[in-house]
Amino acid sequence: MQDAAIVPEGLSQAERLVDTFVAPTKTFTDVLRSTSWWLPFVFMILVGILFSTAIDKKVGFDQVTQHEIEKNPKTVEQMQSLSPQDRAARMAMSAKITKIITYAYAIPILIVASLVSLVLWASFNFGLGARTTFGQMFAVWMYAALPKSVMAILAAVLLFANVNTENFDIRNPAGTNLAYYMPDASAGLKAALSFFDLFGLWSLALLVIGTSIVARKSKTQAAVVVVGWWLLILLVSAGFAAATS
């Protein structure tokens, strides 16, 4: 009787999460076996709660909203045209909405993950002739986005340590990108510079590695697709920020 073939066991969810940071190839290769992504999603939810709580306790969403309004001259002009009562009501409503959105971090994650995964799936399958699945792309994105959670943890730790609570910017909570160090730059330039973020670029590199593995394409081909879309989004974001400032 021939010995039964030995099938190597896959990684556990915890091993996948850890390997994303220390051995990403192992994690993304395991996605070919299973597209499960629940643990990074749970991790992101917990980090989102930590980050939101830090903002709530150390900054306050009223201050966050005020800072967001002050960054946009057009919004400032609109607020000044209101009566004191209407202005206060608008501020209170905006602060409440910001708080809800920040705590409900899981919903934007799923929406962004779905849209990005769909675009990447279509780009690789129809543009490069790959045979990857939407589920594989979705799992890759969830793991590749984990470094951004590290940035949120860093921002939360700084807030709990009372660092920069007076000038806190919810869109740029930690000094990990170029825009953070150029507060007087134009809105369009700041939007573009915010893309050059330590943790964001880390996630981008992971996305290149992951998509190349599940699509079975070279890293160069994967980089052309992933970085190409990244550059397009950068240009659109910078243009929109400049037009609305």
Could you list the residue range(s) of the whole structural domain that residue 56 is in? 13-244
Give a yes or no: residue 166 inside a domain: yes
Take residue 204 and report the two structure tokens written for it.
């981008």
Give a yes or no: residue 36 inside a domain: yes
Local mean pLDDT, 10-residue blocks, the chain (245 residues) = 47 96 97 96 95 95 88 81 84 90 90 97 97 97 97 95 90 91 89 95 98 98 98 96 84
Estimate to the nearest angstrom the gap between the alpha carbon of 177 and the chain centroid.
Answer: 14
Say what the pLDDT of residue 8 is.
53
Give a yes or no: residue 84 inside a domain: yes
Give a yes or no: residue 3 inside a domain: no
Report pTM. Answer: 0.90
CA distances from 112 to 94, 117, 140 (A): 22, 8, 13
Say what the pLDDT of residue 184 is.
84
What is the number of other CB atoms lying within 10 angstroms of the CB of residue 143? 25
Give a yes or no: residue 2 inside a domain: no
Which residue pairs from 52-58 have beta carbons closer than 8 angstroms and sit at least 24 positions apart in sequence?
A: 52/99, 52/102, 52/103, 52/105, 53/156, 54/155, 54/156, 54/159, 54/160, 55/102, 55/159, 55/168, 55/170, 56/99, 57/159, 57/160, 58/159, 58/160, 58/162, 58/165
Give a yes or no: residue 1 inside a domain: no
Say what the pLDDT of residue 1 is.
34
Q: How many domains does the chain have?
A: 1
Q: What is the pLDDT of residues 119-171, one digit of tens each?
A: 999 999 999 999 999 999 999 999 999 999 999 999 999 999 999 898 899 98
Say what the pLDDT of residue 85 is.
87
Say what the pLDDT of residue 4 is.
38
Residue 203 burial by Cβ neighbours in a 10 Å radius (0-12, 13-18, 19+)? buried
The residue among 240, 141, 230 whose CA lies nearest residue 191 is 240
Say what the pLDDT of residue 3 is.
38
Give a yes or no: residue 4 inside a domain: no
Give a yes or no: residue 170 inside a domain: yes
